[in-house]
Chain A
């Protein structure tokens, strides 16, 4: 789906290459084409009923993909995608008025042959009326609900949240539906995110949005909606303020293929991280100038960025603080610099047929194109909301040969997070070729990968091996009747001291409310096992604790004190394993 707007970047290079390197296969080669099984599934509502007009979208990260495909579910809610190339696919359900349950923002991937069960919940509805200060209905103003808290009341960063907008009708009435349970602020005015018509000029498009009930964003009242609930009477008294303009120009000289295009510029509300407005710097016929209108007083961050989706030649400006106070901000001069690229390959090590010990019973061998290379920030403290907005280049699906490219990388330190989709495989090594052929490759799993401004890093090799073990079970307290700490995480630490810095042998999983846990894709070997409370600092859970050398030492010390270990044989599946949690050990100094 993202492809759609990325097409606008240059195709010339792609096509030139295409003509030059026309594959060696001849017409006869067609008989030997690889065709995978279909992905099938069923989409139903949480009441177990099929949903009328439900659709399912299928998306692949592969560069050469069939784009975004959709199928309609049948009357029983069943769907099927045929004619799939091998690879991993993301499934996106879609049914008007319904939404997905849960808060996961990580896409889930499926392989051909998988059967997918999708349950949707009825979305919430917010309706109301928008009126002018004199009480007249405001007609055809765009009304938008922005999710600020999840169903449990936890704050969410709004730019990663679904945003829904609709116009008011001739009575000033609006109706926003299919809302994920949670709390919303509702605004009237501003541009629609989804509709654009050169014919229909909306007088309110460049107004400062008015938030329910009749306030600025900072004083907006939250509206909480549950699944299937309809909240009416969310009436907005429209203020119709004009705001100010923010304008400027990208002054950097750009390579020709970049300069012939448009260049997205974002204006982000500094404190909430919400994208206030977006504009296009025009390089095709103009001189790179851009302008935002209807910007209310406040503190903003401006970023201009062109994605390197097509050509890995992404460029970005730094974060530019913009303060709007009572006047237009004009004449901003914005410089952009190239973004970094990491190229590499995924190698799958097959266990030798003779080596019974490491040979799992594998029905379908994993291929490199069925893996996803995920790049994560290793220096979260240096990242902001925009970092997590611009992540499309940080995820790559290798091609048939295992080659992958990660692009649009801002300077900083990263690490690779990968979990094979098949439980029989584990990540064995992540190596980066050292500069100068004589030196041995670096352990990129431990060191992470530092990317300088515009740096192009080649030769990252990710080795995935067969023979992964798994361990699942339950955490219990050492004293009868004692309650479990609210959030626990179970850690595996390599038992042998010399592996202290082998980060690929550290594993962690959060225990469920009943204490159950599961650790999959584990390299065979001997491990210490530790259950410990998650400190507030680590609560986001995105970055494994073991990435921090000090935390790694503490983990080992605590685990040695807990004195619980296990030897996991290749392909061994250990279940019903019991881990005792003791506060004195688990608590942090």
Chain B
């Protein structure tokens, strides 16, 4: 990563900002009738009040311009408060990187809290413990320091199994110019430390990597089972965790051409990259791009490949929509350069038509309609990489999605830049030339489908609720989800997107169209680095009106029959 530092200087700032822009979503406008809420809590270190701890109010819906909405510092009793907050879901996040903190649902420090309009929440407890430190130095076989190598760190559970990655601040995983690294804020436990690339790594490192070394564990072994285990006490420091790597792995090059599938002619100027496939080989799980584009002969060249299985892919880059889809070519690197690969590019099919609001939609629906985007996903038997993406719906409701592969297309709605954001809109009916398309739209190769009518409904109903634990103590980090299912006349109820229950057992399901719903807790409950807990809960039937709020209480108890915990 440090290559960036020296080669592009300030311009990279724009690049990073762009990544950031792609990754996060704008904040949603404040609902008209909401009254401000407030939140109070306390931070402790080893059970004692923790003064002077920074606490951040992080919205679930990111503002693309900033990471948090407000920050404060705990007083001498460890207390903090945020007032005048828009109702919604937040993470109350302590910023104390040298400490171990509880994690929110996506693994950041903090607790998730969902605030109702005008709510004055109290009693958010942030328990911190002093983190441990692992530090050492990485050198090559000649004793020279290896700068800017990324450290691999895994924590082992009681059974010696590796736990999932938990470090968010990846900057501290990088060795400096002396080969020195220092990783802090670690929970007590047993660790193994390594550098280099695991043979079966499914991630891709393209373009800027150092020499590639085979994964080597402290002190100098490549066999993970022989890695020396570091015992780290709470707040302890393990120094001298040095690693000596062997010779770098020889890497190879793969070359080929991008051709038009119909004519066999080369296709210039397309961005290409290296992909890794999912374990089942059905989709590209990760990919790396260097900004390279095919030349006038359609040629591409992938470099720095160590032995393994790859896919050569054409990407749409950052563009909104591209009128083609492609067939990645899968190849294996063993001990030679790979040549003569051919990526086929097909002209995409298109779907165009009009999106209409259901009759009787209110002012709010019409206002939000202008932000709506529509996309299509096509299920295909073949490994394909599609150029299609969500497009903005024009003010007159018209849309055109291009670059689609053949198959069955399912339309979806979106607002903002991530798929996590609830639109409040639901597709009620899709028609093609007046015929309803219940099972999706059948798309033939290169077909230009017109006359598609999409009727959408806007929901502004909300279900709020509380989950009560009945004789259950859930472990730290346990993730409880609730779902609301719309009861319809169709055989299958429409499942609404599940929402996560916050640290106080509260939840809010928003953007619901009017109707009868059944609300329940999703079984099982997931716990990080531990087996899931099987639970049962009551099901609550509620009727939601547009713009209305319904309150429910769900009771969670263990399901002894399926309980694998005890």
A residues in contact (CB < 8 Å) with B: 1-12, 14-19, 22-27, 29-30, 33, 52-53, 55, 57, 63-72, 83, 85, 92, 94, 96-97, 99, 125, 134, 136, 139-140, 159-167, 169-170, 175, 177-178, 192-203, 205-206, 247, 260-262, 264, 275, 278-280, 282, 284-286, 290-293, 389, 400
Contact = CB atoms under 8 A, between A and B. Distances in A.
B200 interface: no
B295 A193 contact: no
Given A4-B290, A22-B263, A70-B3, A16 B65 contact: no
26 contacts: A6-B291, A22-B266, A33-B297, A52-B140, A52-B142, A53-B144, A66-B301, A94-B3, A162-B6, A164-B5, A167-B171, A170-B97, A177-B177, A178-B5, A192-B171, A193-B12, A194-B5, A195-B1, A195-B16, A196-B23, A201-B68, A205-B67, A275-B13, A280-B21, A282-B26, A285-B415
B387 interface: yes
A282 B418 CA distance: 14
A16 B268 CA distance: 11
B79 to A, nearest CB: 18
Contacts of A199: 106-108, 168
B404 interface: no
Given A52-B144, A96-B2, A170-B133, A9 B319 contact: yes
A11 B317 contact: yes
Contacts of B20: 196, 198, 280
Contacts of A282: 21, 26, 64
A285 B416 contact: yes
Given A23-B268, A83-B301, A197 B170 contact: yes
A178 B177 contact: yes
B324 interface: yes
B11 A178 contact: no
A169 B176 CA distance: 12
A500 B19 CA distance: 53
B252 interface: no
Interface string B282-316: 00000001111111111111011000000000001
- Could you say which of B14, B21, B106, B316 has the most chain A C-beta atoms within 10 Å of its C-beta? B14
Nearest to B131: A170
Nearest to B4: A194
B318 A8 contact: yes
Contacts of A7: 271, 289, 291, 317-318
A152 B67 CA distance: 41
A140 B93 contact: no
A23 B299 CA distance: 12
Contacts of B463: none
Interface string B322-351: 111000000000000000000001010000
A282 B260 CA distance: 34
A260 B392 contact: yes
A14 B321 CA distance: 11
Contact of B172 (A71, A167, A178, A261): A167
Given A169-B182, A194-B12, A285-B373, A262 B18 contact: yes
Contacts of A99: 6
Given A177-B177, A203-B56, A94 B95 contact: no
Contact of B8 (A1, A161, A197): A1
Given A18-B268, A201-B93, 11 more contacts: A10-B320, A15-B270, A57-B3, A64-B294, A70-B207, A96-B148, A166-B171, A199-B108, A200-B108, A203-B71, A285-B392
A11 to B, nearest CB: 3
A433 to B, nearest CB: 27
Contacts of B21: 262, 280, 282
Given A12-B319, A163-B10, A170-B133, A30 B297 contact: yes
A163 B297 contact: no
Contacts of B106: 199
A4 B291 contact: yes
Given A64-B294, A65-B295, A194 B1 contact: yes
Contacts of B265: 22-26
A125 to B, nearest CB: 7
B65 A290 contact: yes
A125 B319 contact: no
B216 to A, nearest CB: 15
Q: Which 6 A-B pairs have the closest CB atoms?
A: A67-B292, A5-B15, A3-B291, A96-B147, A8-B318, A11-B319
B113 to A, nearest CB: 16
A162 B13 CA distance: 12
Contacts of A167: 169, 171-172
B64 A200 contact: no
B281 interface: no
Interface in B102-154: 106-108, 131, 133, 140, 142, 144-148
A430 B274 CA distance: 43
- Could you say which of A97, A136, A161 has the most chain B C-beta atoms within 10 Å of its C-beta? A97
Contact of B10 (A136, A192, A193): A193
Given A170-B185, A290-B65, A284 B417 contact: yes
Contacts of A170: 97-98, 131, 133, 182, 184-185
A282 B97 CA distance: 31
